[in-house]
Structure 1
Amino acid sequence: MPGSSLWLLPPLTHPLYSILTKLISSTLPSKCPSEAASSPKVKPHFFSPHMTLTSDVPPSVYGSDPQAWLDSIPFPSAEHVKVRFGKVKSQDVFYRRCYISVGYEGVKDLAGVSRARGVFGEEDERGEKTKEWLEWWRKQFGPHVSLM
C-alpha cells in the first residue's frame, strides 16, 4: 500500500496492551507454526496491537510535520469513541489471518475523519466520498484488531 496508515493503539499502560501484545508475539505464533497448512504460507509478523483507522495517506498530506497535521484533525472526543470487541475470526487473507472484530458504530466517526482528512481532502466524516468509503469499509473490510 502506498502512503501511511493511521492506527488506534491502546495506551502502553492499559492492561489490554500487554494482553494483545502477548497474543500477537508469542501465544498465537506458538499455536500456529509457520509450517502448518496455510494458503499462502505465512511467517509470523510482530506488530503493535492496533486497529487501522485508514491507510494510503500520501506523505504530501502531512509533509515535514506529521504531528502538526495530526493535531489539526478534529478527532471525536474519547467519550465518543467506543472500541467494542466482537468475535475472534479468521480468513485466508494476510491481514485478517486471525483478528478480533470491532463494533462499527463505536469507531465510525474516528475512522471517517481519519479517511476524510488523510485521503479525500474532506473536512470530516460527513463528506460524500468519506460516507461512501465508510459504507464500503463496514461491509467489505470492517474495523478489526489483527492478531496475526
Structure 2
Amino acid sequence: MPGSSIWLLPPPTHHLHEKLKTLIAETLPALFPAESTSATLSPDFFVPHVTLTSEISPDLYGSDPQGWLDSIPWPAADEVCVRFEELRSQDVFVRRCYIGVGFDGVKDIAALARARGVLGEETPADKTAAWLKSWQDAFGPHVSLM
C-alpha cells in the first residue's frame, strides 16, 4: 500500500475520540504486547481515525497536501455517519486489528476520496452497486487499532 491515505478524524472533543485513543494506546497493547509494539513504533501509532482510502500518490498533491485536500468539495459533516461494524483482523500491518465501518454512512465521502486520490476523477463516475461492492470488499473504510 504505497502512498498516502485520507483519514476522517473524530474531533478531539467527541466522546469516541478518547475511547478510541485509550483502546489504541492502552487497552490493546496491554492485551497483545507482542503484536502492538516494535523497536520503531510506539503503541499509540494510530491516532483515532477512519481510513477512507489509501494508495494516493504524493505526485498528486505535491508540496501542498493541505491545499489539495481543501480543493475537494467534501460532503457536510451532517451528511456523514460512521457506523461501526465488527472487529476484524488481517495479516496486513495497518489492519492487524481494526473495526469495519458500515459503508452506507460514509459511501459518498469515501467514494469521493477514492475518486480524487486514486482514480484521478473529479467525482465518482460510477457509483453502481457492483462497483461499490467490489471496492468495499477490496478496501472498505475502517478504524485501524493496531
TM superposition score category, shorter chain reference: 0.7 to 0.9
Contiguous gaps of at least 5 residues in structure 1: 35-41
Structure 1 runs (4+) deviating above 4 angstroms are 130-133
Query: 1:19 — aligned with what?
Result: 19
Q: Which amino acid aligns with 1:79?
A: D
What is the match of residue 5 of structure 1? Answer: 5
Match of 1:135 among 120, 133, 136: 133
- Structure 2, unmatched stretches of 5+, are 38-42
State how many pairs are aligned. 139
CA distance in 1, matches of 2:86, 2:19: 16
Per-residue deviation at 1:64?
1.9
Measure, in 2, the Cα distance between the counterparts of 1:3 and 1:87: 27
- How far has the Cα of 1:92 moved from its partner? 4.1
Residue 66 (str. 1) matches residue 65 (str. 2): yes
The CA deviation at 1:20 is 0.5
CA distance in 1, matches of 2:83, 2:6: 19
The Cα RMSD (Å) is 2.0
Partner of 2:87: 88
What SS is found at the alignment partner of 2:51? strand
TM-score, normalization by structure 2 = 0.83
Identity of aligned residues (%): 60
- Write the deviation string for residues 84-137 of structure 1: whole angstroms up to 9, x where unpaired: 112223344433322222111111111111111112111112x14x76764323
TM-score (norm: length of structure 1):
0.82
Higher alpha-carbon deviation: 131-140 or 95-104: 131-140
8 Å CA contact 1:76, 1:110 repeated in 2: yes
